[in-house]
Structure 1
Amino acid sequence: MNTPAHLLIGAAAMGRPGQARVTTAAVLGALAPDLSLYLMVSVSIWGMGIPAETVFRQLYYSDAWQAVFAVDNSFVLWGAGLLLALWRKSPVFIAFTGAALLHLAFDFPLHTHDARQHFWPLSSWVFESPVSYWDSRAHADIVGPVALMISFGCLAWIWRQYRSLAFKAFAALLAAAELMSSGIWRFIF
């Protein structure tokens, strides 16, 4: 799924109306598995001047980048974090790790050749799904609209549950970003 969808799902599922720290942790946890990708892409393209085509066709698949993705996309590590959070009874850390695990749960069945090592460090196995959220050759024309509907469903729930106009506006921006990014991936691929 696109990152804005993950943020909306994380906020809706793990955030708590009236508890800004918990909701912020949920949003940040939903972002965490994609953060390294954004940082490495940004540094490569804008900091080092590497063409985007090289970044997404070569660097993304390199052993070095995949090693980073294995860490921040590990069900094992995030699951251990959630168990620790539950043991410590920390609502903020539960929201953070829970949203990250939701991110992985939605990503796992929706990545084809771009899949990650979701069970690192126990295994380097990669599940290459026949279904993709971005690749039209792997049913993105179906998955994309479903992800968009889920995103707008989360937006509606957030608008009903939260009082903060700033958070409602943030959620609306995420939904707009999801709408734009879904269309862009279907157009490109």
Structure 2
Amino acid sequence: MRTYSHAALTYAALRLIDRPGSEAMTAALGATLPDLPVGLGAAWLWTGKHSPTRKDFDREVCGRSIFRLPDAAAHSFLSLSGAALVLRGSGAGRGFLVGWAGHLILDFLTHSSDARPQFWPLLKWRFKSPVSYRERARHGRIAAVAEHTLLALALALALALALAGLWRSSAPTPRRRAPAASGACGGNLSGGPSFNRRVFTVSAALLVASPAPSRYFKSEQSLRKPPVDQENPI
């Protein structure tokens, strides 16, 4: 799954089940963490080459230990387990771990030839999923459509909830006599404004994070030619 999908869907899922915004944002950061090393590598590569190809990326980023080893550590269930021991009992840490774990599980299911060793550094063995999020020979086109359909559905749901919240907050409510002992005036009787803020935040996040699928690197092969399954042992 693509990095922006990890972050946006994690944030949306937690907000739509009424988790605090700070917890949802922390979880989204945790869902982004595993791809940070190669993301920095890709940014470095773009500064040196105007239009790097996928082969350039595999050689210059995935082939360099400075990017490859942190990437392997961030995608290892052993690293996640160690972090869970350190961050146990922390509210913010719990949200971060939820996002990180979700990323590893989804990558476990959607990476094939580019799968990482899931139990690095103890084992170099890699589970290669029969489904890839990007390789056409392994249902990559269907996976990409499913991924972005899920983003679109989550956005549509968030917008529908926002409109429902607007309708509820604008509907007339019967007048109520304020309690004699209370000096407060008004109040959130319908719960509309806070609800609207939550779903509009989710809508904005999904709208920004769900572009049409695009290629980040120019392919040097024909689109009809399936990708070559290359081993890249750590």
Fold shared, TM-score > 0.5 on shorter chain: yes
Q: Distance in 1 between matches of 2:40 and 2:14?
A: 25
- C-alpha deviation, 1:143, in angstroms: 1.2
Corresponding letter in the other structure for 2:36: L
Q: How many residues align?
A: 181
Structure having the higher helix fraction is 1
Q: CA deviation at 1:107?
A: 0.8
Question: Could you say if the C-alpha distance between residues 156 and 79 of structure 1 is closer, same or farther in structure 2, counting changes exceeding 3 Å?
Answer: farther
Q: Offset at 1:2?
A: 1.1
Q: Which runs of 5+ in 2 are unaligned?
A: 162-194, 224-234
Q: Name stretches of at least 5 consecutive residues in structure 1 with no aligned partner.
A: none
* TM-score, length basis structure 2: 0.66
What pairs up with 1:1-189 in 2 under 5 angstroms?
1-15=1-15, 17=18, 19-46=20-47, 48-49=48-49, 52-53=52-53, 54-62=55-63, 64=65, 65-85=67-87, 87-88=88-89, 90-159=90-159, 160=161, 163-164=197-198, 165-175=200-210, 177=211, 180-181=212-213, 183-184=214-215, 189=223
Measured in 1, the distance between the counterparts of 2:126 and 2:76 equals 11
Work out the CA distance in 1 between the residues paired with 2:145 and 2:96. 27
Distance in 2 of aligned mates of 1:184 and 1:52: 11
Distance in 1 (CA, whole Å) between partners of 2:118 and 2:31 is 16
Q: What do residues 40-66 of structure 1 show as CA deviations (whole Å, max 9, x unaligned)?
A: 1101221x3486125323134415133
Identity of aligned residues (%): 25
Greater shift after overlay, 123-132 or 95-104?
Answer: 123-132
- Higher-Rg structure is 2
